[in-house]
Copies of this chain bind each other. A is one copy, B any other.
Amino acid sequence: MNKNERFVKKITPKSVDFSKWYIEIIQKAELADYAPIKGMMIIRPYGYAIWENIQQLVDKRIKESGHSNAYFPLFIPESLLQKETEHLEGFAPEVAWVTHGGADELEERIAVRPTSEAIIGNMYAKWIKSWRDLPVLINQWANIVRWEKVTRPFLRTTEFLWQEGHTAHETKEEAQKETLMILSLYKEFVETELAIPVISGLKSEREKFAGALETYAIESMMSDGKALQMGTSHNLGQQFSKVFNIRFEDRNQNLQYVWQTSWGVSTRLVGALIMAHGDDSGLKFPPRVAPVQVVIVPIAIGDWKENVLPVAQNIKKELKEDGIRVKLDDREEFTPGWKFSEWEMRGVPLRLEIGPRDIKEKKVVIVRRDTGKKETVAWESLKKKVPEILKNIQKSMFEMVLKFQRENTFKVKDYEEFKDVLGSKKGFIETYWCGDRACEEKIKEDTMATIRVIRLEQDMEGNKGNCICCQKPAKNLVIFARAY
């Protein structure tokens, strides 16, 4: 097992230096690599396979809830982006500008899309004429460019991949219903497929999307106690429809502005999977999105190629038939021990070991990545047993993160304790806030913590408290945390 240990030792343990571990595991496991442009990354096949699984699972939900996909241009004329002032101010510092086409200087600068409200608003104004055209329920899968100063693979990159939904409705109520429906769709998706519990809620004015009426978000706790925004759903109100003149004739023949929403999740979710589930041995992917769900490692002793390999191949075939993403690692240049730790490091949920002795007994050894638990299973039960264990891993990974989140969500009695907790324990603080931006700013300055969400489930009537900062009567129950 020497090679085995050496292999893992190449990575800084997560418990020693979380940031370093994050960067190292991404490169070592070949999830991504740095591009020759500052802040950009290459998503390598192993990392991209996770994104493809996420895409497929999100896309299914988006379509089942009545939306269709479309594709809008990468380029947005500066004049269009300028129409909504707040929106422009929010994004202008991050826009990459195209100024030349071939040898010619362009008459007008063109933005590489930092988000698509402007270009889509412009088209909706053309397409929407009557209440009969509503609702418009469109989503697109696209790349986005934001010229970020500080970047980190998957979490914040100059270019990233996402889906952005853009809808238009007859009434304010309908738009609000859509905004919240998507919020709960995202929550259900992340919890079911990524096995990461989320807290959903409203963003404060300070944290909301530039141009939105209200921004809702789902937030999760990473295993260093910091928060990651996992997805957002914006109620845009009529801010964009008034600026882009998106009007329709309503059921009483009056001209009205449409009510809009927009919402998205991105490749950032791959970063969340790494940070929420990983451990000192490396990655730990939940089965539902793992690129490889089961790896079969034949034990290369004696005439294994004649006896063991054909059986391993047959097991692979049988599991594959049932739709399981299975890989047979039959490379000869590596020892079984080396392979064990490599696939552990790469986060494969389940490992099947099969050696000459197992052939006689018609058994295999199954090892779970989440618990390390070993189990001997008869060949004939594998087709039944493997999906069961995978399901069980998915469930227990979710519960493990939920337990961690609960243990690291604190209630505090005063601002001193608030500062203490953020200084020592990390994690989330659930507390009261007066609603004033001044307190929000002060807390950020003192502790680097921001309001992640205003809880929607709060019963402020029964639970009234005082603002943790100024002691005035509170308006909201909120979650504070340091965030990525």
Interface residues of A (CB under 8 A from B): 33, 35-37, 40-45, 48-49, 51-52, 68-77, 80, 92-103, 109-110, 112, 119, 122-123, 126-127, 132, 138, 142-143, 145, 147, 158-159, 161, 333
Taking the nearest CB of chain B, how far is it from the CB of A104, in angstroms?
8
B110:A101 contact, CB within 8 angstroms: no
Taking the nearest CB of chain B, how far is it from the CB of A480, in angstroms?
29
B43:A70 contact, CB within 8 angstroms: yes
B93:A161 contact, CB within 8 angstroms: no
A126 to B30, CA, bound (A): 12
A44 to B137, CA, bound (A): 12
> Please, which residue of chain B has its CB at the minimum distance from the CB of A44?
B70
A372 to B209, CA, bound (A): 52
Output the residue of A74, A127, A333 with the most chain B CB within 10 A: A74
A73 to B94, CA, bound (A): 17
A48:B36 contact, CB within 8 angstroms: no
Taking the nearest CB of chain B, how far is it from the CB of A96, in angstroms?
5
A251 to B323, CA, bound (A): 37
Q: Take A74-B159, A75-B37 as given contacts and tell me if A92 and B102 are in contact as well, using a CB distance cutoff of 8 Å.
A: yes
What is the total number of copies of this protein in its complex?
2
Output the residue of A41, A45, A101, A142 with the most chain B CB within 10 A: A101
A103:B99 contact, CB within 8 angstroms: no
> Please, which residue of chain B has its CB at the minimum distance from the CB of A75?
B37
Taking the nearest CB of chain B, how far is it from the CB of A165, in angstroms?
13
Taking the nearest CB of chain B, how far is it from the CB of A298, in angstroms?
19
> Please, which residue of chain B has its CB at the minimum distance from the CB of A109?
B100
A55 to B121, CA, bound (A): 27
> Please, which residue of chain B has its CB at the minimum distance from the CB of A110?
B37
Instruction: Report chain B residues within 8 Å CB of A127.
Output: 33
Taking the nearest CB of chain B, how far is it from the CB of A90, in angstroms?
12
A98:B101 contact, CB within 8 angstroms: no
Instruction: Report chain B residues within 8 Å CB of A102.
Output: 92-95, 147
Taking the nearest CB of chain B, how far is it from the CB of A144, in angstroms?
10
A159:B37 contact, CB within 8 angstroms: no
Taking the nearest CB of chain B, how far is it from the CB of A50, in angstroms?
11
Q: Take A36-B77, A97-B98, A119-B35 as given contacts and tell me if A161 and B112 are in contact as well, using a CB distance cutoff of 8 Å.
A: no
Output the residue of A45, A71, A76, A138 with the most chain B CB within 10 A: A71
B70:A48 contact, CB within 8 angstroms: yes
A75:B126 contact, CB within 8 angstroms: no
A40 to B45, CA, bound (A): 30
A119:B52 contact, CB within 8 angstroms: no
Instruction: Report chain B residues within 8 Å CB of A101.
Output: 95-97, 147
A415 to B301, CA, bound (A): 72
- A93 partner, pick from B72, B96, B103, B158, beta carbons under 8 A: B103
- A36 partner, pick from B42, B80, B145, beta carbons under 8 A: B80
> Please, which residue of chain B has its CB at the minimum distance from the CB of A72?
B42
Instruction: Report chain B residues within 8 Å CB of A52.
Output: 69
Instruction: Report chain B residues within 8 Å CB of A112.
Output: 74, 98, 112
Instruction: Report chain B residues within 8 Å CB of A119.
Output: 35-36
A73:B103 contact, CB within 8 angstroms: no
A73:B123 contact, CB within 8 angstroms: no
> Please, which residue of chain B has its CB at the minimum distance from the CB of A132?
B333
A33:B75 contact, CB within 8 angstroms: no
- 29 A-B pairs with CB atoms under 8 Å apart are A35-B72, A37-B75, A37-B76, A42-B71, A42-B72, A42-B73, A43-B70, A43-B71, A45-B69, A45-B70, A48-B68, A48-B70, A48-B71, A49-B68, A52-B69, A73-B159, A75-B158, A75-B159, A93-B102, A96-B100, A96-B110, A97-B98, A97-B99, A98-B98, A98-B99, A99-B99, A99-B100, A101-B147, A112-B112
